[in-house]
């Protein structure tokens, strides 16, 4: 890696990206393609592959970074960011280095594009010179992040040409539209003549690591363990408008340990009929044995990931053919392989700046799948190499763990809402992983690949008072916290817990009703007698909507007493308005009960956050 990086400083545009879900990688690759079409040499790297101490030697750098959760940086950026924060770096450290930042975020979140903003400021503080004002892509834009990226890129080439004309020898606007840029995919496939090969779930890690590019969970190799489902229980009443399930799994390895607040990532199975339809549509042989490697590498290089595997198995475990929507570049490459003129024209229009909004309406807004798009353009026959490169990876899905391992040894529990929705054109859609889990029968053992990781909610010591706010499936991690605190309370003195839960109706979706009520009585860990409390908001059981923040304000005195006693706040649930509304409620309570101004109350909550006592885990 170092050897490569030391060769990159001769008029090369360095593109560094940090991605969590793949969008920042897509944007960075788009930037790289546009640079190459302008004869601009580039070096494209993930931030975790780059040696940050080389940054002062660069001439021009473009950062493409996403913001995750509540203003968090992607995992691949954490080491780089810690390096940039070193006090030993002077304000002239990046003198002579030209840079710009493009961020990907969602303005529905409170800390919109927070990572891009703080990176831009830090680079400027270290003496870097901006090529162009940072661009902030927004998932809420009618065309998604590309609504900002398109005009931002046009400005980037003009400004780069002004500052560094040697980077763009043909000028900022001369783009080479040549099939030579299309006909070399990044991967190569070797077909193997194998009489028999036994491919099972245990091959999952090897197959996943064969996939070019980023692993779905930034992990290559084998899963932490395989899970066996032992319970699949509905938590909601039929026809109440939602389907929430309680899943229990047994761990196939006794060596696995997890804490309350941790997250479980699952690699979902795909609908077999959809996989078969994709293979038929693409004229592929499901029984062929293939190995996949980056183009230009010897396939027999000894990597375990290059083992031959059945083509159908490869598709099932790595290629999301019937859930994720393809990216814009997919349509551009399709246009080169379309033989029907009207299809070619439509695909070229979709991949052009003029067709961007129409593509967004057709593709992302409707959540068209790869299979649906290919079926809409029957004349397109793409080689398998291109399909492997461009079909979105089958990604793991992350769920908050809703059990305490101390209470349920060798088990892990999840609380999952089975996702379904209707598109603008009235097409019914289902979430891949939640729907798949809901169909599993515990009597039929299926090995489910799983990975454990730390979540945003740290384990709390028994002596720490807690205020938990978790409407809907936001209650999931708190089931584990409360189970564990109840077990601890049998042998040691424990601090109180106050829990605010919310749902639609008492009869329809009051998740884990008996559990909460049981712990709120007889001096339980949620009882008011112990200084805690359990309060539930039924939003639709009366004419006026009642949410968790209303219940918090009703009990503001008790909330403030716990905060004054040093309580930590944990918030979990939907990422839309809930975290912001709940935070505002806490600020109002501090202002009222502590008799301080709203500004002082805001500062008080921010201080709570800085000292590690205010945590949010939100999902869309």
DSSP state letters, 550-602:
HHHHHTHHHHHHHHHTT-EEEEEEESSSHHHHHHHHHHHHHHHHTT--HHHHH
Q: Please, is 542 exposed, middle or buried when counting C-beta atoms within 10 Å of its C-beta (0-12, 13-18, 19+)?
A: exposed
94 vs 294: CA distance, rounded Å: 34
Q: Please, is 12 exposed, middle or buried when counting C-beta atoms within 10 Å of its C-beta (0-12, 13-18, 19+)?
A: middle
336 vs 345: CA distance, rounded Å: 10
3-state secondary structure of 488: helix
Does the annotation flag 434 for ligand binding?
yes
- 3-state per-residue secondary structure call for 432-446: HHHHHHHHCCCCCCC
Does the annotation flag 503 for ligand binding?
no
Does the annotation flag 547 for ligand binding?
yes
CATH label of the domain that carries residue 144:
3.40.50.360
The count of domains in the chain is 2
Residue pointed to by tokens 């002579």: 96
Task: Report how far apart, in Å, the C-alpha atoms of 547 and of each of 100, 415, 520 are.
Answer: 42, 21, 20
Does the annotation flag 18 for ligand binding?
no
Does the annotation flag 49 for ligand binding?
no
Nearest CA among 498, 482, 462, 322 for reference residue 415: 482
Does the annotation flag 512 for ligand binding?
no
Nearest CA among 93, 151, 144, 160 for reference residue 122: 93
Does the annotation flag 433 for ligand binding?
yes
Does the annotation flag 398 for ligand binding?
yes
359 vs 276: CA distance, rounded Å: 27
Does the annotation flag 399 for ligand binding?
yes
Residue 478 lies in a domain: yes
Residue ending a domain, choose from 176, 195, 210: 176
354 vs 351: CA distance, rounded Å: 8
Residue 152 lies in a domain: yes
152 vs 136: CA distance, rounded Å: 9
Can you list the alpha helix ranges (DSSP code H) found in 72-145?
A: 78-84, 114-125
Does the annotation flag 619 for ligand binding?
yes
Does the annotation flag 35 for ligand binding?
no
Write the pLDDT tens digit of every residue in 257-279. Answer: 999 999 999 999 999 999 999 99
Residue 198 lies in a domain: no
Residue 55 lies in a domain: yes
Helix (H) or strand (E) holding 152: helix 146-163
Does the annotation flag 548 for ligand binding?
yes
Does the annotation flag 66 for ligand binding?
yes
Model-wide pTM > 0.75: yes
Query: Residue 4 forms beta bridges with which residues?
Result: none
Tokens of 492: 């040691």
Does the annotation flag 540 for ligand binding?
yes
Residue ending a domain, choose from 155, 176, 197: 176
| DSSP category for residue 319 | B
Does the annotation flag 190 for ligand binding?
no
Does the annotation flag 600 for ligand binding?
no
Q: What angle do CA 245, 476, 441 make, to 5 degrees?
A: 25
Does the annotation flag 81 for ligand binding?
no
Handedness of CA 261, 266, 271, 277 (dihedral sign): positive
CATH label of the domain that carries residue 585:
3.40.50.80
Does the annotation flag 157 for ligand binding?
no
Does the annotation flag 473 for ligand binding?
yes
Does the annotation flag 415 for ligand binding?
no
Residue 386 lies in a domain: no
pLDDT computed for residue 71 by the predictor: 82
Residue 223 lies in a domain: no
pLDDT computed for residue 437 by the predictor: 96
74 vs 48: CA distance, rounded Å: 10
Q: Could you give the dihedral angle defined by the CA atoms of residues 100, 105, 108 and 110, in that order, rounded to the nearest 10 degrees?
A: -70
Does the annotation flag 310 for ligand binding?
no
Nearest CA among 471, 540, 521, 529 for reference residue 496: 529
Domain that holds residue 484: 466-619
pLDDT computed for residue 5 by the predictor: 43
Does the annotation flag 411 for ligand binding?
no
Strands 568-574 and 614-619 come out as parallel
Nearest CA among 98, 92, 161 for reference residue 131: 98
Residue 119 lies in a domain: yes
245 vs 243: CA distance, rounded Å: 7
Tokens of 388: 């492997």
Does the annotation flag 19 for ligand binding?
yes
Q: What are the residue ranges in the chain where pLDDT is below 50?
A: 1-9, 179-180, 199-202, 209-220, 298-305
Residue pointed to by tokens 């992607």: 74
Q: Could you give the dihedral angle defined by the CA atoms of residues 441, 445, 450 and 452, in that order, rounded to the nearest 10 degrees?
A: 90
Does the annotation flag 581 for ligand binding?
yes
pLDDT computed for residue 182 by the predictor: 58
Query: Residue 266 forms beta bridges with which residues?
Result: 397, 450
Residue 560 lies in a domain: yes
Residue ending a domain, choose from 154, 176, 198: 176
- 3-state per-residue secondary structure call for 6-45: HCCCCCCEEEEEECCCCHHHHHHHHHHHHHHHCCCCEEEE
């Amino acid at each position: 890696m170092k050897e490569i990086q030391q060769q990159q400083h001769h008029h090369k545009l360095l593109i560094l990206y940090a991605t969590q879900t793949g969008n920042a990688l897509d944007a960075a690759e788009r930037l790289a393609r546009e640079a190459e079409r302008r004869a601009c040499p580039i070096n494209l790297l993930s931030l975790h592959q780059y040696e940050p101490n080389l940054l002062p030697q660069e001439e021009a750098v473009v950062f493409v970074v996403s913001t995750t959760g509540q203003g968090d940086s992607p995992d691949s950026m954490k080491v780089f960011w810690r390096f940039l924060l070193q006090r030993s770096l002077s304000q002239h450290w990046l003198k002579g280095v030209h840079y710009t930042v493009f961020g990907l975020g969602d303005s529905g979140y409170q800390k919109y594009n927070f990572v891009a903003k703080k990176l831009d400021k830090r680079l400027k503080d270290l003496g870097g010179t901006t090529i162009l004002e940072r661009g902030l892509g927004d998932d809420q834009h009618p065309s998604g992040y590309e609504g900002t990226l398109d005009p931002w890129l046009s400005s980037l080439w003009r400004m780069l040409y002004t500052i560094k004309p040697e980077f763009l020898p043909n000028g900022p606007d001369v783009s080479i539209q040549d099939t030579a840029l299309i006909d070399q995919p990044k991967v190569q496939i070797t077909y193997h003549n194998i009489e028999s090969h036994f491919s099972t779930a245990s091959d999952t890690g090897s197959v996943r690591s064969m996939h070019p590019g980023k692993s779905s969970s930034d992990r290559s190799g084998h899963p932490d363990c395989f899970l066996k489902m032992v319970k699949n229980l509905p938590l909601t009443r039929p026809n109440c408008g939602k389907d929430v399930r309680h899943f229990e799994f047994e761990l196939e390895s006794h060596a696995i340990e997890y804490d309350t607040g941790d997250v479980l990532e699952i690699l979902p199975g795909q609908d077999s009929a959809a996989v078969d339809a994709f293979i038929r549509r693409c004229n592929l042989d499901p029984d062929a044995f293939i190995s996949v490697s980056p183009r230009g590498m010897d396939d027999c290089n000894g990597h375990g990931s290059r083992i031959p595997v059945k083509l159908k198995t490869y598709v099932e475990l790595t290629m999301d053919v019937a859930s994720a929507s393809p990216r814009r570049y997919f349509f551009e490459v399709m246009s080169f392989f379309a033989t029907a003129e009207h299809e070619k024209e439509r695909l070229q229009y979709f991949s052009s700046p003029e067709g961007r909004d129409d593509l967004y309406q057709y593709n992302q807004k409707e959540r068209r799948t790869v299979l649906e798009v290919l079926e809409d353009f029957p004349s397109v026959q793409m080689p398998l190499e291109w399909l492997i490169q461009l079909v979105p990876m089958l990604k793991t899905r992350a769920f908050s763990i809703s059990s305490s391992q101390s209470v349920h040894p060798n088990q892990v529990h999840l609380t999952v809402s089975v996702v379904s929705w209707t598109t603008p054109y009235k097409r019914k859609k289902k979430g891949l992983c939640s729907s798949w889990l809901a169909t599993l029968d515990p009597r039929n053992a299926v090995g489910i690949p799983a990975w454990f990781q730390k979540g945003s909610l740290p384990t709390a010591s028994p002596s720490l008072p807690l205020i938990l706010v978790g409407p809907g499936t936001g209650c999931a991690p708190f089931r584990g916290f409360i189970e564990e605190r109840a077990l601890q309370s049998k042998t040691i003195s424990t601090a109180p817990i106050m829990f605010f839960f919310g749902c639609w109706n008492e009869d329809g979706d009051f998740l884990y009703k008996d559990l909460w009520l049981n712990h709120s009585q007889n001096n339980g860990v949620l009882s008011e007698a112990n200084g805690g409390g359990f309060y539930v908001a039924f939003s639709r059981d009366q004419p006026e909507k009642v949410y968790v923040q209303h219940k918090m304000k009703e009990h503001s005195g008790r909330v403030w007493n716990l905060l004054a006693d040093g309580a930590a706040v944990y918030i979990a649930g939907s990422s839309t308005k809930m975290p912001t509304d709940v935070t505002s409620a806490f600020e109002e309570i501090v202002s009222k009960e502590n008799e301080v101004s709203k500004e002082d109350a805001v500062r008080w909550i921010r201080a709570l956050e800085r000292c590690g006592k205010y945590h949010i885990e939100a999902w869309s």
